[in-house]
Structure 1
Amino acid sequence: MKTIDDLLHLGDPRLYQICEPVLPGDLPMVSTWVADLHNVMQQIRERYHFGRAIAAPQLGIMKRLIYMNIDRPVVIINPVLSNLSDEKFELWDDCMSFPNLLVKVLRHREITIDYLDENGQPQQWHLRGDLSELLQHEYDHLEGILCTMRAVSEKAFKWRK
């Protein structure tokens, strides 16, 4: 079982790699990966008091997999974003891979995400506001993009209190 000590940190070259799709032959591994993602997210919540979702590459699992747990667990496999709204909003973003740093970024107000669930069944979800931002952040991880790379300016960084 992976723990918070397995979390990749800012500067680890794996965080900048584009992830491979989860293939049909990988589906038996998804439950193990999700258990690891859940465990690490719980540890982050206990230590840092934040964390709603985590992407597989943050644990060195270089697959297109996101785990979210706000009011219920959601497994997102091979997501594709579409219908990104023209309207954007600015926010202070945080990341488990650098938990004490906040980065001011711009995100789309609304998106649509097509994905496979943990059973390999196609799903579609239209998201607004904070959930839209959250999934954009996690999707970026699958593309090797960190919120530090999306900062609105060179002064858009601050330490968490």
Structure 2
Amino acid sequence: MTDLGKRVHLLLRAEGSTVSTAESLTGGRLAVRFTDVPGVSETFLGGAVTYATALKMSLLGVDEEIVVRHGVVSAECARAMASGVRAVTGSTYGLSTTGVAGPDDQEGKPAGTVYVGLAGPGFVVSELLELQGDRTEIQEATCEAVLAALEVRLREQTALR
């Protein structure tokens, strides 16, 4: 169990919210970060590992135009994935991960080029991460970054109340 995962779970529970995940390069690792926390069934609805581009479109509703114009390693795709998983699951928040874990380039982008997305009530945002390391290190750093982004958003929501 990670402290970050537990903190996010407790913040979600305190506001009566839920979360779901749409993963590409992390291959389910983000879902594992949630399910490692005891009691997380109160806040984590589930997720989709959409490694293949076709699944991003068919399961999450990522528009083909986004894929053609921007690629799957893009801010636009990360936002569409986060919004899509939120819509499919009915969760309060949707998180997404897409990018290049390596070792080879993808879409002309080097390993470590990662986008994470966060969708929630009234907002959809993405963040570019430029990570270093091997595949596993990039995948783990991606999970940490998107969880941290959700934690920040949840703490901001709490402060506004």
Shorter-normalised TM-score: what interval?
under 0.3
| Bigger fraction of residues in helix | 2
TM-score normalised according to structure 1 size: 0.27
